Structure 1
Amino acid sequence: MSFKLRLSLLSIAIFQTFSAQAAIPANPNIETITVTGDRFDTAQEQQLAVVNTIEREEIDRLSPKSVTDLLETLPGVSVTRNGGAGQSASISMRGTNSSHVLVLVDGVRVGSATLGAVSFNALSPENIERIEVVKGPRAAIWGSDAIGGVIQIFTRKLEGGEWFASAEYGSDEYMRATAGAGISHGNGHTSISLNHEQSDGYNVKNDAEDDDDGYDRFGLSINGEQTLNQFWSLNWNGQLETGHYEYDNSRANEADYDNYLWSLGAKFENDKLTSKLALAQSQDKNENFRSDVEDYPVTLYKTTRDQINWSNKYLATSNLTFIGGIDWTKESIVGDYAVDERDIAAVYGLARYQYGQLLLEGIVRYDDVENIDSETSYSASAAYQFNDEWRLALSTGTGFQAPSFNDLYWPGTGNPDLVSETSENYDITLHYSGDNLRGYVSLYHNTIDNLIQWAPTPELDENGYEIWKPANIQSAEISVVELSLNYSTWGIEHQFGYSYVDAIDKADEQQLDGRSEHELDYAMSYSWDQLDLLLNYHYQGERKASNDFLDPYHQVDLSIGYKIADAWQVRLKANNLLDEEIISDRNYFSPGRQLFLSVSYQAF
């Protein structure tokens, strides 16, 4: 059976099931949720991309040990781990590569320009207030890296007089202490949050190095704002993540990291115009070494990004909105590279028009990447609101991923002739929002060309080993069916997510490495008096790993919280309750069953 036929049959089956379950009257009192998929706070029904959100209340209940624990609960987001919470992990969104996901923390682009990846293991979940995941053809608003989507992380915000503190202990000698407070100053406030955690870990890899791989990390986040008058306000953000982790590798087995970001912004707002200017800098620094070899050389990877963003929103009429701005980034790296810095300048514009039940949107963006060809990205979208419950959205757009410094200039093997990876994608999404049920089903197709692949060459190094070099030689075709449902019955909240991913290498029609065709998530939560309960189930289908396939697995997590007083709560969390062997990357094991107990106090 061809993929197109399988996709059609599966889509029809999902649509019929979805429609049958959705025959529930609409709730006129549904809370209006705003998201920032277009860089400004906008009602979710005005967004033409699929946006998933994770709020602080959900984070508390999930009691995650890593940011990837949170992201994995979302449909269309797949995680590959090299071990537990302190180890490296990568994100694939809707079947794209890990480098095809743009990550922003408080609006600041983060990640390594040398590796083209983000250190998710360095981020502290306890310092996060909210996560927004923007999917689909949205690269035209954000620029490079947003081929698969955008992950926006917002740190915790507290009003003056609000504060919290918590402590946790669990398996593998895990310990955590977290605290935060809000400070008022006139017509403004500043939040400060601190988190420290450590664990002895476990042996993450099946190899000759049989030892526990532990980690420790410290996180500090500061954010605040000050209203100057009815039109002007200032805002500031800062974050520091520093830590140490052990891992299994033949060359190095320990690493220290020191990552930070800061931003200063000003906002002008009146009835028609909102204008924001932000100056920011981020650093990704990682030092790798071997602890069991005296005088082993330290390998340093360090990226610094200076950023200026000017964005504007103009309400021309009640039905017509314009958004536009300028982005400038300077990337600098440390190392023996032929080129160690580059500038990226971009200008973009968006127009959105409401005509009765029809919503139209167009976006164009131009990026000039130094030493690489410029790229023009576009997005065109339309949505039709059939009634209070049903809405259909269609989108098409292009995106690109600029080569990393390693791809271009790695000493002896980089290829300075590389061009950007490019994509063309289509998305059709049916939304439903009723009284006890809301959700969507989305069909998505993405074609990616000029993918960069490292491959061996006829050349040999001084030791007689093959020299590997990168080239734009791969293309991929990815088709996705994504389903999300949230519904309530008898006081029990249910969340269901499913994704079917068909990711094919166009050269040999083989499945791309690291992707699962089927991935499913289900969460059941219930609150009664002072007690709350959350049961999470995750199914990961088999994945291709080189010439082999990794077995599918099931993971069940349980979280039980109890309020012993108005502000005090204790929580018991069990991860991998069934103690199943979980391998998401070849030879790397996730931990077995783990138990954690936490105590928290919140003065809100």
Structure 2
Amino acid sequence: MKLKQKLAFGLWLFAVCASAQTDIWRSDSIQEVVVTGTGTQHLLKDTPVQTEVITQKMLHNYGGKSLEDILAGLTASFAFAEGDMGSQMQLNGLGNSYILILIDGKRIHGDVGGENDLGLIDPHNIEKIEIVKGAQSALYGSDAMAGVINIITKKHTEKGLYADNTTRYGTHNDLRQHNSVAFRVGKLSSQTNFQLQRNDGWQNTTEEYAEATVLTDSKNKTVNQFKNWQIAERITYQLAPNAQLYAEGSYYKKNILRPQNGTHPSCDVYTYDLRYNNASASIGGKWNPGGKKDIITLDVDWNKHAYYYDYTKGTYEYILLKGEEYGALDGEWYSVLMKPGQSKLQSDQQRVMGQLKGIFYLPYNNTLSAGAEYRYDYLKAPDRTETGTASDQTAALYLQDELDIQKWLNITAGLRLVDNRNFGFRLTPKISAMLSVDDFRFRLGWSQGFKTPTVKELHYRYLHVMGSSTFFNIGNTSLDPQTSNYYSANAEYRGRKFTASLTGYLNKLDNMIALVNVSPGEIPAGVTTAYQGDGSSNVQARMYKNMDDARTCGIDVTMSYKPMKGLALNAAYSYLDTKAHLYDEHKDRVNTVVIDGTAHHKWNASAMFSHTFSPNYALGISLSGRGSSKRYYQNNGDGKAFQIWRINTTHDIGNQNKMLAYKLEFGVDNIFNYVDRTMRPYHLGNNTSGTTVYATFSIRLKYGKRVNNHSITTKQKSNYEED
């Protein structure tokens, strides 16, 4: 390992020395405009709520194949354990269900149980990513206890025609395809996006612990073969100079093909593949009253996320009966033969959401944001809920005031009032302060969070097989809402060549919901205590329960140094500590546990160099690395520590201001071939397959006149032009 570290350092040093003849330049990130923290536009250095940004230049040089790849490689606060059901993302110790993911400010919809499929997000259509940690804004609700990720997509604001194609191909037949076509005629504009992703999957080990022994010929893959595609359309109409209407929709489909193995039926190998179908539709508009800076927006969204079993072999499935189905009694498990080629719905989750928001610029340096939201969640799961369906409704009002008391002092305060059908009203306050001294910023923040149990946490029941362990996971209608108090302190310096940020945080959660082992006596009345889906009764029951309390705390450090034009050196480090307390009814004591997936230390570093050699050619080189200490888990041991390095080169060919332009990209990921060979199901550190190579070809066509529709101030615009 020491030799590999020396080689990695040597590669990084070479990238630095290679650009020694270039000139000092001014940081473009200083002038980055962000919106996520407050919902209003601020220069990054002046945003009252600390915001981390992954810029377009970083995305361009890094060459990530997916959102997971980008976040893991360019920030130190995230961790992933990708699987068939989703990304298993963590932000500062809290999982996917505590992280709000937005696309252009609108909530992504996936599994309301927590594991969103990030394949819905096309990495080639991302302009930049803004990250706000903790429940620091009144604009966002229960899904944002850990933080908010806002994906800002590319907008083609050109009169005439725009089209682009990006094709990326790599090891394991990994194919990533992106196409976009946009045009603007008069007041009407249209943008159509298509993406395709596929991979043959890979197997890091043939060893698996199952049937109370170690098997050496398992056919299970570490990552299964998959294919997904998505098509999306957005149409906008400029009703008036100060009013715009839009309509958009998308359809997404994903298939996961799993290996068949009849030799060891107790292995985590199934006789069915998985299929996911997503759809969405939205309408809305934006109005600037009187043509001023004030903005009023209205959005209405519908989203659908459904997944199915597609059977590849005759299989007896056990379903929980309702009424007198199949001549049996209510509440019994009944065996039904599913034949090859048949499909069966497992869950269909739908959401309808309406949002009305206004931003008003008042006298005395006062910016007021106010909004109202309504959300309806519907779950259809014929074999996994007591009645086959379940639903929930939530309404919310929020108010936020940004006040510049002095030029050097900003106070931002907000209130959010939530009314949930099952849990009533709750008011949560937020407040932050920012002190500006030359190039220094000092921020303090405190906020409360309120998260009601999801529909799945309340009602869902399913069997989960992991190696030799089989768990029957049960929803719990007696759950209480989760609450949190988030405290943060930040010191930041942004100079011409060097930026640094140091943040300390403490997130205290009460009634945190987690799956825990329970005895038959703890299972609610009316829920069957034995599940015969695998042919035995040796099944451990687990139920969603409220932990007594939990807390996460840590320190995040980020630094960027730009010693010369075209060269950026970046580094980030995250320290995390988590604890949760859970009362053990059998032993009459409180147990202290580490939240699953916690790693105390995570880091990343990169050297990114770019240079334009002529109007028709620009070169970009990126060397980046990331690492993590071991990850802690209650079941199946801990995940191993790791570090992974990659190199990516980009070649922009053709004048970018002309009609046609091209880009070539070549890269090697996991240069030093790190692979976790731990037997299944104990490979919990990282699931990379080892060294992979890839190449990308992009072509772009544009024909029309550039239209500048950025709603930024004249001062901000001049700052952009200055750089």
TM superposition score normalised by structure 2 = 0.75
What is the one-letter code of the residue matched to 1:186? G
8 Å CA contact 1:127–1:194 kept in 2: the answer is no
Match of 2:231 in 1: 220
User: Are residues 1:426 and 2:487 paired?
Assistant: yes
**Cα offsets for 1:456-507 (capped at 9, x unmatched):** 3332415433433222134211111001112212342111111100111245
Q: Choose from 350, 358, 361 the match for 2:400.
A: 350
CA distance in 2, matches of 1:224, 1:41: 24
Q: Choose from 577, 590, 595 the match for 1:502.
A: 577
Match of 1:175 in 2: 175
- For the structure 1 residues 432 and 223, does the alpha-carbon distance in structure 2 shift closer, same or farther, using more than 3 Å as the test? farther
What is the one-letter code of the residue matched to 1:481? I
**Cα offsets for 1:265-294 (capped at 9, x unmatched):** 111113253111111111222223453446
What is the one-letter code of the residue matched to 1:341? S
Match of 2:102 in 1: 104
Match of 1:254 in 2: 273
CA distance in 2, matches of 1:33, 1:114: 31
Q: How far did 1:362 drift?
A: 0.7
What is the one-letter code of the residue matched to 1:525? M
Match of 1:572 in 2: 666
- For the structure 1 residues 439 and 261, does the alpha-carbon distance in structure 2 shift closer, same or farther, using more than 3 Å as the test? farther
Match of 1:151 in 2: 149
Q: Choose from 443, 448, 461 the match for 2:530.
A: 461
Q: How far did 1:67 drift?
A: 1.1
8 Å CA contact 1:137–1:395 kept in 2: the answer is no
Q: Choose from 575, 587, 590 the match for 2:683.
A: 587
**Cα offsets for 1:32-87 (capped at 9, x unmatched):** 5232332343433453222222344433332222211111134453222236xx77
Correspondences of 1:227-376 after superposition (within 5 Å): 227-247=238-258, 249-251=268-270, 254-269=273-288, 270-271=291-292, 273-293=294-314, 295=339, 298-336=344-382, 337=385, 338=387, 340-356=390-406, 357-376=408-427
Q: Choose from 212, 219, 225 the match for 1:209.
A: 219
CA distance in 2, matches of 1:526, 1:366: 48
CA distance in 2, matches of 1:48, 1:382: 7
- For the structure 1 residues 130 and 259, does the alpha-carbon distance in structure 2 shift closer, same or farther, using more than 3 Å as the test? farther
What is the one-letter code of the residue matched to 1:145? D
CA distance in 2, matches of 1:32, 1:453: 38
CA distance in 1, matches of 2:180, 2:123: 13
Match of 1:443 in 2: 504
Match of 1:129 in 2: 127
CA distance in 2, matches of 1:216, 1:454: 30
The share of aligned pairs that are identical, in percent, is 19
Q: How far did 1:28 drift?
A: 11
- For the structure 1 residues 505 and 345, does the alpha-carbon distance in structure 2 shift closer, same or farther, using more than 3 Å as the test? same
CA distance in 2, matches of 1:33, 1:542: 36
**Cα offsets for 1:142-175 (capped at 9, x unmatched):** 1111000011223332133222112222111122
RMSD of aligned C-alpha atoms? 2.7
- For the structure 1 residues 29 and 171, does the alpha-carbon distance in structure 2 shift closer, same or farther, using more than 3 Å as the test? closer
- For the structure 1 residues 28 and 546, does the alpha-carbon distance in structure 2 shift closer, same or farther, using more than 3 Å as the test? closer
CA distance in 2, matches of 1:103, 1:29: 23
CA distance in 2, matches of 1:598, 1:551: 32
**Cα offsets for 1:367-415 (capped at 9, x unmatched):** 111112432211111111012x001010001112221222211259422
8 Å CA contact 1:36–1:42 kept in 2: the answer is no
How many residue pairs get aligned? The number is 578
User: Are residues 1:66 and 2:66 paired?
Assistant: yes
Query: What SS does the aligned partner of 1:416 have?
Result: coil
TM superposition score normalised by structure 1 = 0.89
Structure 1, unpaired ranges of 5+: 1-23
Match of 2:626 in 1: 538
Match of 1:120 in 2: 118
What is the one-letter code of the residue matched to 1:63? G
CA distance in 2, matches of 1:87, 1:534: 32
CA distance in 1, matches of 2:358, 2:517: 47
CA distance in 2, matches of 1:58, 1:262: 31
8 Å CA contact 1:221–1:238 kept in 2: the answer is yes
Query: What SS does the aligned partner of 1:90 have?
Result: coil
Query: What SS does the aligned partner of 2:419 have?
Result: strand
- For the structure 1 residues 274 and 262, does the alpha-carbon distance in structure 2 shift closer, same or farther, using more than 3 Å as the test? same
Match of 1:12 in 2: none
The answer to which of 497-506 and 507-516 deviates more is 507-516
What is the one-letter code of the residue matched to 2:558? S
- For the structure 1 residues 559 and 514, does the alpha-carbon distance in structure 2 shift closer, same or farther, using more than 3 Å as the test? same
Query: What SS does the aligned partner of 2:51 have?
Result: strand
Q: Which has the larger radius of gyration?
A: 2
What is the one-letter code of the residue matched to 1:209? K
